[in-house]
Structure 1
Amino acid sequence: MLFQNKFMIEVEMLDVGGKKLLGLKVDLPNAPLLLLIHERLVVGCGYISVEAMEKVGNAACVVRGVRGFQDVSSAEIAELTSKAEELGVRRGMKVEEALEML
């Protein structure tokens, strides 16, 4: 779907390590906004605020330096909320590993 003929928005169902996720990618001018959404965990790029996710009580983590869905799933977790920690997710863990635990 195009928005003002400039920015592409991709929505895709993904399978990462046997887990079903909704992938969302918004092409922005300098870097894409990326989200992988599982029923128990949200994984996002550096555009996502861990503080905001913490405040609303979401289990969420942030990865950096990613440009596509595959990059997100294989990236190391840089930041995370306390709810994500309760699920066993840890800083430095690969997203694929975190999803395996869910």
Structure 2
Amino acid sequence: MLLKHRTQGNVDIAELSGRLVMADAAKARAELLAIVEKGTGRLVVDFRDVSFIDSSGLSVLIAAFKGIEARAGKMVLAGLSPEIQALMELTRLNEIFLVFADPEGAARYLASTE
């Protein structure tokens, strides 16, 4: 799993790629929490290049969400494959996370919120 960070205006975008699984969960959690801690308070997690996510990967997302929520920030997801979208629905995480088709639309949404 690889994580790249970029900023678009006042929004942080974390681009994930590969597989978000147990072997990578601790590193991914630390990197996402560092973005949350030092970032803008608005975070898009881009899944366009993620091929698979397991329960450990889901726990990474929940940890990042709790971290950003504690700072009164907002976090959304973008670019989910049909399989990952189905997993979000199965685990009901789609009730917690707003999901956008692409990170640019997600960033525009977050930039417009205060």
**Pairwise TM-score range, normalised by the shorter structure:** 0.3 to 0.5
Query: Larger % of helix: which?
Result: 2
Larger radius of gyration between Structure 1 and Structure 2: 1
TM-score by length of 1: 0.37
TM-score by length of 2: 0.34
